[in-house]
Amino acid sequence: MPIDLFGPYKIGSLDLKNRFMRSATWDGTADSLGAVTDVSVDIYTQLGWGGVGLIVTGFAFVAPLGQAIQGQYGAHNDDMIRGLQKLAEAAHCGGAKIALQIVHAGTASGYLQHNKISCQAVSTMPDLSRPHREMLDGEIEDIIDGFAATALRAKDAGFDAVQLHGAHGYLMSQFLSPLNNRRTDKWGGSAENRRRFHIEVIRRIRQVVGPEFPLMIKFGVIDDASDGLSLKEGIETARLMEDSSIDAIEVSGGVGSPAVVASESVPEQPYYRQRAAAVKKAVSVPVMIVGGIRSLEFAQNIVDSGDADLISMCRPYIREPDLINRWQNEDKNPARCISCRKCFSIAMKRKEIACYQERHLRRPI
């Protein structure tokens, strides 16, 4: 019997109307301070009415030295709360739930490099050209406190959940990866020490938001680079995060680029499916799969096979914010996104993410 992807689903205390989620997507619309703008609100209003059960925001930095890119949301101080409230309200108006994704970029900050500011590094990296310095123990503790304070701001702003960004080579990935973490203190060396940052972030967030507020993670379960984090270590970290009260895991990549990425020539190729299936077998909390999914048929097959519990997509919602409504209302054709990746170039230039095919070429749908 096929699982009803459009039926209600529960993550901890969070009730969702279906099993579809919008994966965190940088949209370039925040102002120079990281504050939400009217353009930001319009994006989330469209998503909220589009039928998706859970929206995860574009990543929001937890500290000024944690900013990754221009146009990124900030959640690093209380001045950001009012704008964040507007995003939550926009999603809720359409019946969606919303999680704030929070991040520290570490050495993966193009923003700091552009502004000639030294990055905070887990370890000194001789092969890294951008200015950086290894953090002291007290600085690491301050960043962990920053994650906790930011999570509490999200709760106060009306978000339904928080998602940690523990993937794509940002700071949490850097702590976990032997490629970036060469420390010899309690934060590095053994697998236990390299995952200490994750466990402490989760523990400290729980202290301030309480046991019921949903806490998720986008998790790079394995590095896509030789001699990096192994799948075995990633799976064990997932188990320990569950023990530390993480509520859901969205499976993604760690340090390095994914081995396979959906493109115009191969628009549908769920390139994290095997990883998601491995995590699903190891934990009891809900597992989300993201990357390369473009059709309802594929989504149904993934969930029915037991490889994941929820379907997470990013770029399809840039072209079609109402994709889930379309699928639910009998039009089962695949997403119109062709994976050209030009939407993010538009966001860099115009401070508003949009589908290149729709806005520039005006091709018939």
Tens digits of residue pLDDT in 70-116:
999 999 999 999 999 999 999 999 999 999 999 999 999 999 999 99
Q: Residue 90 is part of a domain; what is its CATH number?
A: 3.20.20.70
CB burial of 184-213 (b: ≥16 within 10 Å; e: otherwise) equals: eeebbeebebbbbbbbbbbebbbebbeeeb
pLDDT digits 0-9 by tens, 123-137: 999 889 899 999 999
Question: Is residue 27 included in any domain, yes or no?
Answer: yes
Report whether pLDDT(298) > 90: yes
Q: Decide if 299 contacts 324 (C-beta within 8 A).
A: no
For the chain, report the end-to-end CA distance as a whole number of angstroms: 33
Structure tokens at 324: 């889930």
- Give Dmax over CA atoms of the chain in angstroms: 59
- Is residue 170 part of the annotated active site? The answer reads yes
Q: Which residues contact 330 (CB under 8 A, 6 or more apart)?
A: none
Question: Is residue 121 included in any domain, yes or no?
Answer: yes
Q: Mean pLDDT of all residues in the chain? A: 93
pLDDT of residue 353: 81
Question: Is residue 312 included in any domain, yes or no?
Answer: yes
- Region 136-157: mean pLDDT is 98
Query: What is the rounded distance in angstroms from the CA atom of residue 358 to the CA atom of residue 293?
Result: 20
Question: Is residue 4 included in any domain, yes or no?
Answer: no
Q: Which of 170, 271, 272, 317 is catalytic?
A: 170
Question: Is residue 310 included in any domain, yes or no?
Answer: yes
Query: What percent of the chain is predicted at pLDDT more than 70?
Result: 95
188 phi, psi to nearest 5 deg? -150, 175
Rounded to 5°, the CA angle 62-31-342 comes to: 95
Report whether pLDDT(287) > 90: yes
Question: Is residue 13 included in any domain, yes or no?
Answer: yes
How many domains does one find in the chain? 1
**HSE-up of residue 354 (Cα within 13 Å, Cβ side):** 14
Q: DSSP letter for 359, please.
A: I
pLDDT of residue 343: 82
Question: Is residue 20 included in any domain, yes or no?
Answer: yes
Instruction: Give the range of the structural domain holding residue 255, as residue numbers without chain letter.
Output: 9-361
Query: What percent of the chain is predicted at pLDDT more than 90?
Result: 85
Question: Is residue 3 included in any domain, yes or no?
Answer: no
Report whether pLDDT(196) > 60: yes
Rounded to 5°, the CA angle 114-118-120 comes to: 120
Measure Cα distances from 156 to 12, 78, 153, 330 in Å.
19, 10, 5, 38
Residue type present at position 346: I
pLDDT of residue 365: 34
